[in-house]
Structure 1
Amino acid sequence: MDTATDLRIIESNSLAPLDSREALIGEVLRGLRKRPRSLVPWMLYDCEGSRLFECITTLPEYYPTRTERGILARHAEAIVTATGADYSRPLRLLELGAGTAAKTGILLSAAIRLCGQVVYFPVDVSSDALEAACDSIGCMCPGVRLEPMVANYVTHPPRLERFNGTTLAMYIGSSIGNFPPAEARTILRNLRSQLRAGDALLLGTDLVKDEATLLRAYDDEAGVTAAFNLNLLHRLNRELGANFDTGCFRHRARWNGRASRIEMHLESTCDQSVEIPDAGLSLRFAALETIHTESSYKFTQETLDSLLEDAGFTVDRTWTDPRQWYALTLAGVS
């Protein structure tokens, strides 16, 4: 399969934000002129940011990726069986924010063993990531039919064609935790609108735990997460002609217990001025003033169940690791 030519592109202005210079300028104007200052998380993921994030997932302090992988490795067949799929018909695995599908192959391999006919429908904003995902899955699971789609699933949910079988939607990696509760509900409601009775959702979420463990996961000893966060300023320097002195900002990770989220900030170490010519901005930062760059919400079983039920799903079963640090929840559509 020639993945590059088989990708189905949705023509829509809503697909532009992650690659559009205009969208970058728009978010800079929206987020840096107000107090407190903030920037949207997608701005962290240029080529260098994506590379650094892949490094983060292998760090000893960053438990979510390996913990979720462990749950999948132990329970993949049980997850597929719990969907109640009719094995005489194909199973379609739809994955939102598929990225490179590093963990998805575990579930797809189990699906092939049980179902035989499997379709993998990865959705992501990055065609490069989808190429990598399809290459990886094509080698690991040669019996899977690949139907990738480039789309911004947050603002423009993919329209699913009718399918003669069960659809298991996957949203793993705790990606739902990057969105405020109202936005998270909207994403899941939009997804629910595309599913039929008998379909299901597998949702990966990070659970509330002790503050020290959470902070280490987002402020590692090697400084990789700090470099990932500071790369956002390098990106603005490269792409918008800004003159951020990254030596005058530092990475800060904070636990906001009231909102149940880890927050990443870039903190100014001194009073300073910054110019962003391409956005027409002149900014003054006070010492200790921050730019809020990303949040990662953490869930309890109660808040997780509430989120899914509010989005129109019925919680069927939850799998966790021995420490109860992470959850994979199967929710049905009735």
Structure 2
Amino acid sequence: MTTISPALDLACRSALGARTELIREVQNGLQSRPRSLKPWMLYDELGSRLFEQITALSEYYPTRTERSLLERRTDAIVASACADSQPLRVVELGAGTASKTCLLLAAAVRKRIEVIYMPLDVSADALEIACRGIESAFPEVLLEPVVVNYVDSPPKLEDFDGSTLALYLGSSIGNFMPQESRTILRNIGSQLRNGDALVLGTDLVKEESILIAAYDDNEGVTAAFNLNVLNRLNNELGADFDPTGFRHRARWNPVASRIEMHLECVRDQYVEIASAELELHFREGETIHTENSYKFTDNTLDALLSDSGLKIESTWKDERSWYAVTLSRRLDEDQCDRK
């Protein structure tokens, strides 16, 4: 049985509200210097499909590495999160299509416990795909999807008579600036009770050549994914971008410890975005910064979670130490005050 959250009835965050937000962020980002667009703009219907293709590319190691780690640790994670066969609520930030989450749900179902799955995502299309797949594979799991921008409008979790396991997989936390990352984790961590847990997937620092290849693949799928944001602005806001006038660039910023994705203008050009009432002049070589992907070390990961009021309990890495999955719990208030 599928229970749809009331939030899903608000026309998926309301088409009008989503359009207003898109216009506002486009105005803010493209009139600033350097120019930028919010990463969530990459994930329209086509963008989401392209990203799913990216996760299957040979160069893009994070998805398969994280999946391998979860395959080996799901029973331990569920056992740690849910003692004494009490009901389990799984809350996932940025759920997407939830392909890896099924591993954890399967482990919970094997324990014959009541499971509620609450996926949170900005993409209604991705949530629909996720819920359809989970309902088919695990009909005993109760679904409560919520379409929400969990960064700007973090949802409040209702009281729950059982354990809550929060998930944030795919190294999605790395797409945010450090302060934003702490805010996201603190928002979810503050709603965890004693015994509840957070499972976080994070990509780790490694050789620059490996990182660049993961974000600039030979087949050009990542380039198409990045350039598609221009098509989205053309389709939804009446812009007249010529995508051939830009090219995808992936850069490693060692000082900030992040991969940066940019769209580089290849010639001087003017662009009009009708619905945003913008007329823009792009010079050759100018870029639009579209996404970051921060990479962590043991120390920066520990600092991120600690500063967010969470304490690492277990860490699992692959054999090459390219990726980490951590299980953490909320620090007591007095411990947070002493930090």
Report TM bin, short chain: over 0.9
AA matched with 1:254: R
1:59 aligns with 2:57: yes
| Residue 228 of structure 2: aligned partner | 231
Count how many residue pairs are aligned between Structure 1 and Structure 2: 331
Cα deviation for residue 15 of structure 1 reads 4.3
1:289 aligns with 2:286: yes
- 1:1-334 equivalent positions in 2, closer than 5 A: 1=1, 6-9=4-7, 15=13, 20-83=18-81, 85-114=82-111, 116-333=113-330, 334=332
In structure 1, C-alpha distance between the alignment counterparts of 2:112 and 2:294, rounded to whole Å? 35
In structure 1, C-alpha distance between the alignment counterparts of 2:144 and 2:238, rounded to whole Å? 39
CA-to-aligned-CA distance 1:35-61 (integer Å, 9 cap, x gap): 111111111111111111111111111
Structure 1 pair 299–14 and aligned structure 2 pair: CA distance change class (3 A): farther
CA-to-aligned-CA distance 1:252-273 (integer Å, 9 cap, x gap): 0000010011000000112222
In structure 1, C-alpha distance between the alignment counterparts of 2:41 and 2:170, rounded to whole Å? 18
Structure 1 pair 18–97 and aligned structure 2 pair: CA distance change class (3 A): farther
| Residue 337 of structure 2: aligned partner | none
In structure 1, C-alpha distance between the alignment counterparts of 2:152 and 2:145, rounded to whole Å? 18
Segments of structure 1 that go 5 or more residues without pairing to the other structure are: none
AA matched with 1:93: V
Is the CA contact (8 Å cut-off) linking 2:92 and 2:120 kept in structure 1? yes
Cα deviation for residue 16 of structure 1 reads 5.4
1:213 partner SS: helix
Is the CA contact (8 Å cut-off) linking 1:218 and 1:253 kept in structure 2? yes
In structure 2, C-alpha distance between the alignment counterparts of 1:17 and 1:302, rounded to whole Å? 42
CA-to-aligned-CA distance 1:167-224 (integer Å, 9 cap, x gap): 1111111111110000000011111121111111001111111100100000000001
CA-to-aligned-CA distance 1:118-166 (integer Å, 9 cap, x gap): 2212122233322221221122223322222222211222211221221
Structure 1 moving runs of 4+ over 4 Å: 10-19
Is the CA contact (8 Å cut-off) linking 2:249 and 2:264 kept in structure 1? yes
How high is the TM-score relative to the length of structure 2? 0.92
Cα deviation for residue 116 of structure 1 reads 2.2
In structure 2, C-alpha distance between the alignment counterparts of 1:17 and 1:325, rounded to whole Å? 39
Cα deviation for residue 19 of structure 1 reads 6.5
Is the CA contact (8 Å cut-off) linking 2:92 and 2:166 kept in structure 1? yes
Structure 1 pair 304–258 and aligned structure 2 pair: CA distance change class (3 A): same
Deviates more, 1:268-277 or 1:34-43: 268-277
Segments of structure 2 that go 5 or more residues without pairing to the other structure are: 333-339
1:142 partner SS: coil
Identity of aligned residues (%): 61
Cα deviation for residue 114 of structure 1 reads 2.9
In structure 1, C-alpha distance between the alignment counterparts of 2:112 and 2:254, rounded to whole Å? 43
CA RMSD of the aligned region, Å? Answer: 2.0
Is the CA contact (8 Å cut-off) linking 2:43 and 2:123 kept in structure 1? no
Structure 1 pair 21–121 and aligned structure 2 pair: CA distance change class (3 A): closer
Structure 1 pair 127–235 and aligned structure 2 pair: CA distance change class (3 A): closer
Cα deviation for residue 29 of structure 1 reads 1.1
In structure 2, C-alpha distance between the alignment counterparts of 1:186 and 1:16, rounded to whole Å? 25
Deviates more, 1:235-244 or 1:44-53: 235-244
Deviates more, 1:137-146 or 1:204-213: 137-146
In structure 2, C-alpha distance between the alignment counterparts of 1:254 and 1:17, rounded to whole Å? 34
AA matched with 2:260: E
